[in-house]
Amino acid sequence: MKKGIHPEYREVVFQDISSDFSFLTRSTISSKETITWEDGKEYPLVKVEVSSASHPFYTGKQRVLSTGGRVDRFKQKYGRLSKSAGK
């Protein structure tokens, strides 16, 4: 491998924010946050929204998302189109 052209490959902690599940692995991703792991060492921390601990495929549980707020925001933003607007 050529030196100086590859990203640093190091140990990183990924934390699932929806289930508070964390795991230590190696990655090239960069992060400004750090966390002290179970071994007492400090590692870069990357927060993710979905992991095997919270994904419906792996857990067998479905989460119901509330879409009411999105519909109301859409109606407020665009309003109802009148029937004469298309003429």
Arithmetic mean of pLDDT, 47-55: 71
DSSP 21-82: EEEEEEE----S-EEE-TTS-EEEEEEES--TTT-HHHH--PPPPP-HHHHHHHHHHH-PPP
Residue 73 covered by a domain: yes
Residue 2 covered by a domain: no
Residue 58 covered by a domain: yes
pTM of the predicted structure, to 2 decimals: 0.58
Residue 55 covered by a domain: yes
Q: Higher pLDDT residue, 81 or 79?
A: 79
Which is it for strands 42-48 and 21-27: parallel, antiparallel or unpaired?
Answer: unpaired
Residue 75 covered by a domain: yes
Residue 1 covered by a domain: no
pLDDT the model gives residue 36: 92
pLDDT the model gives residue 77: 78
* Residue 86, helix vs strand vs coil: helix
Residue 85 covered by a domain: no
> What is the tens place of the pLDDT at every residue in 29-39?
888 999 999 99
Number of domains in the chain: 1
pLDDT the model gives residue 44: 92
Domain range enclosing 53: 10-79
